Amino acid sequence: MKRFFSKNNQTILSVILISFSVGAMVSFTIVRPAFTKDMIKNAVSIAGLNFDEKEIELLQDDLEDQVKTFQKNWESNLPNHVSPALVFNPLPQGFRLNTSQTPVQFDDYSNTEMPTSLNDLAYYSIGQLAHLIKTQQITSVDLTNFFLQRLKKENTRLHCVITFTEELAMQQARQADKEIKAGKYRGLLHGIPYGAKDLLAVKNYKTTWGAVPFKDQIIDYDATVIQKLNEAGAVLIAKLSMGALAWGDVWFGGQTRNPWNIKTGSSGSSAGSASAVAAGLVPFAIGTETLGSIVSPSTICGTTGLRPTFGRVSKYGAMALSWSMDKIGPIARTVEDCSIVFDAIRGKDEKDASTIEAAFNYDANFDWKKLRVGYVKKDFEQTYSFHNQDSIALKNLQAMGIELIPIELPETKDITFILEAEAAAAFDQLTRSNLDSTMVRQIRNAWPNVFRKARLIPAVEYINANRHRTQLIEDMAKVMKDIDVYVHPSWASSSLGTTNLTGHPCVVLPNGFNSNGMPSSITFTGQLFGESTLLSIAKAYQDKTQHHLKHPELY
């Protein structure tokens, strides 16, 4: 039983849990006294309003009727996957999508040979591993076993796996070898092992969302991203850890660790995805981002991550946190690895109304020197933890022949409570059932408290915040009209928050190390649906600097 309001006011609302099991529906019986005038005064003060006695009297009966409507709606017990009828569209007025697809051109990996030491395969790129498999220098079964054994051994230190999918993996690997031997090669991901953040549904396996209330949950279908990777011939070897309900690196099994220093966490919420890739336990992994969950762990763990444009990748079968901000993307060793995976998972999906069809004309040999590259001058002039590495990064870009154009990002209103409101709606039943109290993190800055706080966000404020968001989209369009891409600090910039609201894509990649030997990163942000150009310039920088070739000593 969970109680709301105050005993002193004799305004107890008791929510009695009739039935509950993980993944099942929750039913409630509501007992609530009538609203008092003092209750109404206190409630409207949250919205910054002050009603007089007559206005409050007029409200009383209407509020009673309104709550009765709410109570009827609560009986519906909406599951997490049901999205609102309102679909977020990141496109500014007049934006023209390129839908003319040309052949995607990746690098040539034909000079790849088996290493003398098998352990060296741990840090081969997708392209290199793909050539070894295609030319049958190694089988998918052997490669899958290699990564499975590494993952099992190191998971005891890193806590990066929630569920191993070994039976499925070996079945997929054997099928890949059979097809390749018969000359039916599907492409660069055929036979390549990978891991998926455990908010993506995989049939016959648990999908725990990293949280105690859902640790035995089974969703009996494959997420669209998993389906697409199946079709590409990729081999799923594990459901990787995530911060509980996509926050941080703490889940019901502990804290996911950073391979560069296992005494520290890997950040999150794509915690296991970044940790496993950094330690050479999987060639690539799938992560998600709502407000930094690819950028942050990639920075901490020294991996390369792509956060695609909102609407580029289907969210069907993924845990919903914020229907208007959630994005799915790859975490890998290299920028081109991210391109390879992105090409496989992108596209329109009838099961996700927010997806938008657009071309991805990536070309590894693209002439990036003709691009107009901006940089957020004000951000780089601050004092912050990665300042030295970022300064060197700017010099490297200039040495590549790039003329950096100073830009200023638009002022962003503090409207990230959009995320909080949507997340509270997505997990409405968790709060009402009181099962939020079973989650590991019970502090002010954790989901249980934030969900409760979000119940007091007025609907009018949520709508107005989205109107501010519309203005922000138009303001960003003005900034982007004179550039193709811009570079900025990964954390010490408003860009991370702004572009997660506007839906712009970004690539985060290593750019050096701090004095304590921990990785640092820099971020490139591109035009909406401009991933091909964005990835081209990021690849050029990565090829020049080669920070991604350094790996944790333990691994």
The yes-or-no answer on residue 293 being catalytic is yes
Q: In angstroms, how far is the first alpha carbon of the chain from the final one?
A: 48
CB 15 within 8 A of CB 30: yes
Instruction: Please give the helix or strand (H or E) that residue 453 lies within, else none.
Output: helix 447-454
- Count other Cβ atoms within 10 Å, centred on residue 74: 17
CB 162 within 8 A of CB 198: yes
Q: Which of 125, 140, 197, 315 is catalytic?
A: 197
What is the C-alpha radius of gyration for the chain, rounded to an integer number of angstroms?
24
CB < 8 Å & 24+ apart, contacts of 15-20: 15/432, 15/433, 15/434, 17/433, 17/434, 20/433, 20/435
Distance CA 329, CA 274 (A): 12
Retrieve residue 69's tokens: 């409507």
CB 410 within 8 A of CB 498: yes
Cis peptide before 76 (omega within 30 of 0): no
Q: Which of 83, 241, 293, 493 is catalytic?
A: 293
The yes-or-no answer on residue 544 being catalytic is no
* Residue 424, amino acid: A
In DSSP terms, 235 is beta-bridged to: 193
* Residue 370, amino acid: K
The label of the residue with tokens 């992560």 reads 287
> How many Cα atoms within 13 Å fall on the side-chain side of residue 222?
11
Distance CA 358, CA 100 (A): 8
Q: What would the 3-class secondary structure string for 463-484 be?
A: HHHHHHHHHHHHHHHHHHCCCC
- Count other Cβ atoms within 10 Å, centred on residue 373: 22
In DSSP terms, 486 is beta-bridged to: 374, 525
Q: Which of 269, 275, 322, 520 is catalytic?
A: 269
The yes-or-no answer on residue 197 being catalytic is yes
Active site residues: 197, 269, 293
